[in-house]
Structures are given as C-alpha cells and as structure tokens.
C-alpha cells in the first residue's frame, strides 16, 4: 500500500480517475446533442484527450456534444491543466526534500527554487494566476466574438470562456469545426490566444522565480534562463521556417498579405508546441512544415506548466551536452552555471524513452492501417506531446489506433513528469563501483 501511494503513482492514479469519471459523464444522454450516438470509445477518447489537455478529437466538439457535454470537456481540461501544474510543482519540491540537507540548501541558494515551506502557497499561486489569466482572455475574446464576428452575447460569452480555458491550459479544444481557421487573419483573436498559450506553457517555477527577482534577471535560476531563452528561440525559429516553407503555398499562406502571413506563422509556431489550435490547414501544409512540427511538438513547452512534450529544458540540456562534448569541455555549462551529471542523465532518459514511445506508437498504428506513414508519425507525436494538431486522420484510425493514441496521450501527459520525479527521488548510491572501461563510440 505504501508503494501504491508513492507521490508519482498518486498523480498517475488521480489522472486516471478523472478520465474514468469524465468518460462516464460523457456517456450520459444529456452530454450529446443527438446528432450521432456516443460510443464508449468516443467518450473515453474525448475524456483522455481533455484530461491530458491534448485536443485530438474523433467527433466535432461544437456539434456532437451538447452544452452540458462541452462544459464537462472544459471542466476536464481545466482539471487536467491545473492538476498537472500543481502536481509537477509540488513534485519538484519533493525532489528537493529528497536530497540531503546540505545539498538541498545549496540547491535552493543556487537555483532560487521555491522554498520547502511554500507547499500550501504553490496551489494558491497556480489557482490565482490561472483564474486571472483565463478571465482576462475570456473578456477579450468574448468582446471580439460579439463586436467583430457578430455573435450574440450568450454565444460570444460561451465561446470566449471555452476558448480561454482551452488556450491557457494548452488543451486545443475548439467549438468550431475548423478550429481557428476562420480567424486566420484576426490578430484580436490569435494574438491573445497565443499569449495565453505561451504563459500557460512556460511553467510556474519560472513565474515564481521572475516574481521574486523581477528586477534582478542576472540571479534568475538556470531553469528559468534555459526555459525563457529556449522558448524564444523555438518560437522565432519556428515562425521563420514556417514562413519560408508556406509563403507560396496556395492552400495556407499563399493568398494572404505579408502581415497576415507573419501572424499565422507566429500562431502556428506557438501552437505547435502543445496548444493544438490551428489557424492554417495542417493537412495542406508542405511536408517540410510537417517535419518542423515533428520537432516542435516533441520538444513541447516548459516544465511544471500546461505544456507537454519532453520539455524545453530537457532539449537544451542535451544540446548543451553535445556542444560541450564537441568542444572537448569536461563540464556542461550555461549562463555561468554547471549542469549536474544527474540532470544530464535524467534528460537523456526522458528523451530516449519519449522517442521509444513514438516509435512504438507508430509501429502499432501502421500495423492496423494503410494511412501514409508521415501522417501517422504526425498523429503519434501530436498525441505523445499532448499537442492535438492533426492532419485529419484521427477519426479515420481503427479502434486499435485510437486506443494507442489514448495511451500515448496519457503517458505523454503524466509519464514525463512522474518519470523525471521518480528518477530524481529514486537516486541510490551503490556501495561499490566496477572498474571503468571506455567502449568504442561511433
């Protein structure tokens, strides 16, 4: 029983419970609009996608589900986003607690991490930031939907609230059949949503650090500096590459003027890192743009936030490790700090296991379908990275393929943070060491 209640297992079981409750609620007659029957697989897939804040769907959210069903879905991805942000932050604190006292004090001084006595304040901080951000975005979107797109106030308010919660939690669910494609040139819709996606996906340890030392960025923690710099590079780089590959594509950016092309490319770059909204037709993009999405979706956003993927920090640690090895440097360093060996090993483990899940999911789905391999790979990475973008094949997958996607969404959402915490908390110092030998590499 003690092992069952280990913190990392508790998080996984809590999310599983939320999925089961959500499935039961979505199976009730009042949850559907009556357009088509709700099967157990449809309800389960939707509940997993909502709790894991992914956004992949097998039925249209705006037409298949009633208002009650849509409210349940919104509640599920609010719980999924808030629950994982809180759990990830608290697990980070527990990792600090598992270190020896001297090491823990040194770590707190060097990284300016959240204090061990701040556990009750963590959930409060997450809740306050979440509610304020969602409220501001809901007001902006509702006003724009009403005055700019002629919705009634009741329709505009519901669309504003639903898309606000979905955006901040990086859920990617939309009440529109075409997601946000109808707003592809509307900066008053895309920019506020993109801002909420970035804010929600950065992670609360970064917020805490910035809030504590807003005027002293030199003393921000290494995690904060890596997350912010990595996010900026990925967003700007993704925007530039998408502009290059889609500039003349008649089905995406081609018909737009330069400013609208920049807007849609920026939004696509933001959304590719786990948000799941799309203002461009993903299925009509070039294969080069799909390849870029593979990369961005797999990396994801910041740790202890609403984003998925293997996380920006993980990717940058590995990139810095490669750079140090190429330069022949003994230590892996960044911003005047040395990255610990344990952090490097954890990053390698998360990346390798994540890549293994993508390969496994791809093989399983390809076994049961004749769909093109590149589209299947896109779907698999989108599910594992809890992104929610799709080339349009989700509903066409066989039941075995859809079940594989639910496994990938669950592992991608819950598995990465619990794995990282387990690795850090389960560090064991052996009483002996074998003789060292250097195998041939390359």
What is the rounded distance in angstroms from the CA atom of residue 345 to the CA atom of residue 111? 19
pLDDT of amino acid 419: 61
Least confident among 105-114, 150-159, 214-223: 105-114
What average pLDDT does the segment 302-327 reach? 90
Q: Comparing 417 with 62, which gets the higher pLDDT?
A: 62
Q: Which phi and psi (to 5°) does residue 151 adopt? A: -80, 155
At 218-244, the pLDDT tens digits run 889 899 999 999 999 999 999 999 999
The yes-or-no verdict on residue 416 having pLDDT over 60 is yes
Q: Which of 167, 163, 193 is nearest to 176 (CA)?
A: 163
pLDDT of amino acid 323: 93
Q: Which of 389, 302, 276 is nearest to 84 (CA)?
A: 302
The DSSP-derived string for 370-425 is -S-HHHHHHHHHHHHTT----SS-GGGS-HHHHHHHHHHHHIIIIIHHHHHHHHHH
pLDDT of amino acid 421: 58
In the DSSP assignment, the letter for residue 355 is H
Residues 277, 282, 288: CA angle, nearest 5 degrees: 125
Rank 120-124, 192-196, 408-412 by mean pLDDT and report only the highest.
Answer: 192-196
Q: Which of 73, 251, 304 is nearest to 312 (CA)?
A: 304
The yes-or-no verdict on residue 103 having pLDDT over 50 is no
Q: Comparing 8 with 260, which gets the higher pLDDT?
A: 260
Q: Which of 367, 313, 366 is nearest to 343 (CA)?
A: 313
296: helix, coil or strand? helix
Q: Which phi and psi (to 5°) does residue 133 adopt? A: -65, -45
The yes-or-no verdict on residue 391 having pLDDT over 50 is yes
What average pLDDT does the segment 420-426 reach? 56
Element (H, E) at 334: strand 333-334
* Structure confidence at residue 4 as a pLDDT band (50, 70, 90): very low
Least confident among 34-48, 250-264, 361-375, 426-440: 426-440
Least confident among 124-128, 195-199, 348-352: 124-128
Element (H, E) at 333: strand 333-334
Q: Where are the alpha helices (DSSP H) in 54-186?
A: 61-64, 67-98, 101-111, 119-149, 153-168
The DSSP-derived string for 223-270 is HHHHHHHHHHHHHHHHHHHHHHHHTT-TTTTTTS-HHHHHHHHHHHHH
Confidence (pTM): 0.89
Q: Comparing 419 with 168, which gets the higher pLDDT?
A: 168
* Structure confidence at residue 268 as a pLDDT band (50, 70, 90): very high
Tell me the pLDDT of the chain averaged across its residues. 86
pLDDT of amino acid 30: 95
What is the rounded distance in angstroms from the CA atom of residue 251 to the CA atom of residue 245? 12
What average pLDDT does the segment 53-71 reach? 95
Domain coordinates in residue numbering, the chain: 7-425
Task: State the CB neighbour count (10 A cutoff) for residue 302.
Answer: 28
The yes-or-no verdict on residue 145 having pLDDT over 60 is yes
Q: Which phi and psi (to 5°) does residue 7 adopt? A: -50, -40
């Amino acid at each position: 029983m003690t092992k069952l209640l280990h913190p990392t297992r508790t998080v996984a079981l809590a999310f599983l419970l939320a999925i089961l409750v959500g499935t039961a609620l979505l199976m009730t007659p009042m949850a559907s609009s009556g357009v088509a029957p709700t099967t157990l697989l449809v309800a389960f897939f939707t509940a997993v996608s909502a709790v894991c804040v992914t956004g992949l769907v097998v039925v249209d959210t705006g037409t298949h589900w009633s208002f009650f069903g849509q409210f349940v879905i919104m509640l599920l991805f609010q719980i999924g986003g808030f629950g994982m942000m809180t759990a990830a932050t608290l697990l980070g604190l527990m990792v600090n607690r598992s270190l020896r006292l001297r090491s823990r004090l040194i770590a707190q001084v060097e990284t300016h991490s959240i204090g061990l006595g701040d556990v009750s304040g963590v959930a409060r901080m997450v809740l306050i930031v979440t509610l304020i951000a969602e409220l501001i975005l809901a007001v902006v979107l509702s006003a724009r939907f009403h005055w700019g797109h002629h919705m009634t106030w009741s329709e505009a308010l519901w669309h504003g609230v639903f898309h606000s919660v979905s955006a901040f939690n990086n859920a990617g669910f939309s009440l529109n059949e075409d997601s946000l494609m109808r707003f592809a040139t509307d900066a008053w819709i895309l920019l506020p949503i993109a801002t909420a996606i970035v804010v929600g996906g950065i992670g609360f340890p970064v917020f805490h650090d910035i809030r504590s030392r807003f005027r002293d960025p030199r003393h921000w923690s290494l995690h904060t500096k890596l997350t912010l710099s990595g996010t900026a590079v990925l967003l700007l780089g993704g925007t530039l590459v998408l502009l290059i590959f889609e500039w003349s594509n008649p089905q995406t950016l081609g018909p737009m003027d330069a400013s609208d092309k920049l807007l849609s490319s920026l939004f696509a770059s933001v959304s590719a890192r786990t948000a799941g909204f799309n203002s461009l037709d993903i299925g009509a993009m070039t294969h080069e743009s799909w390849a870029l999405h593979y990369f961005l979706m797999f990396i994801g956003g910041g740790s202890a936030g609403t984003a998925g993927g293997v996380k920006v920090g993980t990717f940058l640690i590995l990139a810095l490790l490669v750079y140090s090895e190429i330069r022949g440097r003994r230590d892996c360093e960044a911003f005047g700090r040395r990255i610990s060996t344990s952090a490097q090993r954890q990053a390698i483990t998360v990346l390798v296991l994540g890549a293994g899940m993508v390969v496994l999911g791809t093989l399983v789905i390809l076994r049961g379908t004749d769909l093109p391999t590149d589209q299947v790979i896109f779907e698999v990475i989108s599910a594992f990275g809890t992104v929610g973008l799709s080339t349009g094949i989700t509903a066409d997958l066989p039941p075995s393929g859809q079940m594989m996607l639910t496994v990938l969404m669950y592992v991608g959402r819950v598995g990465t943070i619990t794995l990282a915490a387990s690795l850090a908390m389960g560090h064991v110092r052996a009483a002996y060491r074998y003789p060292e030998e250097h195998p041939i590499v390359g």
